[in-house]
Structure 1
Amino acid sequence: MAYLDSEFYNLRLLWSRIADRVVVAGLVALAMGVASYIAIQLGHGPIVITP
């Protein structure tokens, strides 16, 4: 049983690391998207596709 417990613990530790990275990446992407959207809105009013 101790072997299974240690395996489960390792799996949970690995998952927590992956989940933390996914959450951080998601928050960074969301922040960048919001910041760019606000910058575009403040920069020149409505969004224009043509340069």
Structure 2
Amino acid sequence: MVKTKEENGQFVVYVRGAVAASFLTKSEAESFAVKQTHYPSQEETLITYN
């Protein structure tokens, strides 16, 4: 679980209750939080045997 909180003028990102990173702007913190929760989709490959 990822949370973003403003603390002492910085935006702190928590991942599973532990501090993961802190940023000066909210947009940077939110961008980081999205990256932490994004799982890349797996690509499907068609295999043909001749």
TM-score class, shorter: 0.3 to 0.5
Instruction: Give the number of the structure whose residues are more often strand, by fraction.
Output: 2
- When Rg is computed on C-alpha atoms for both structures, the one with the higher figure is 1
RCO higher in 1 or 2 (8 Å CA, sep ≥ 6)?
A: 2
